[in-house]
Amino acid sequence: MKGNSLAIMAILSVIVHVQAPAVCLRAPVSESLSRLHRDQLQKFAQYLISELPQQVKYLFETVSDV
């Protein structure tokens, strides 16, 4: 069983190594949001509320319960 685990880890490491150049790295969302001005943040919030009302409502309720 241990030999199979090592083989799987070796295969995965090769896949990751080969695919690494294809991986697109992005800045964290918090970093992107911190660069926005107040009016841009308001527009973004309005967009989220209009596009994802149920998810935003759940998130707001979760945060406000804390």
Task: Return the residue matching tokens 């009016």.
Answer: 39
Q: Report which of residues 5 and 56 the model is more confident about.
A: 56
Q: How confident is the model at residue 62 (pLDDT cuts 50, 70, 90)?
A: confident
Of 27, 31, 47, which Cα lies nearest the Cα of 39? 47
Yes or no: say if 49 and 55 are a contact pair by the CB < 8 Å rule.
no
Residue 39 pLDDT: 94
Residue 27 pLDDT: 83
What confidence tens digit (pLDDT) does each residue in 34-57 have?
999 999 999 998 998 899 889 888
What is the number of alpha carbons within 13 Å of residue 24 lying toward its C-beta? Answer: 1
d(CA 60, CA 38): 19
Q: How confident is the model at residue 18 (pLDDT cuts 50, 70, 90)?
A: low
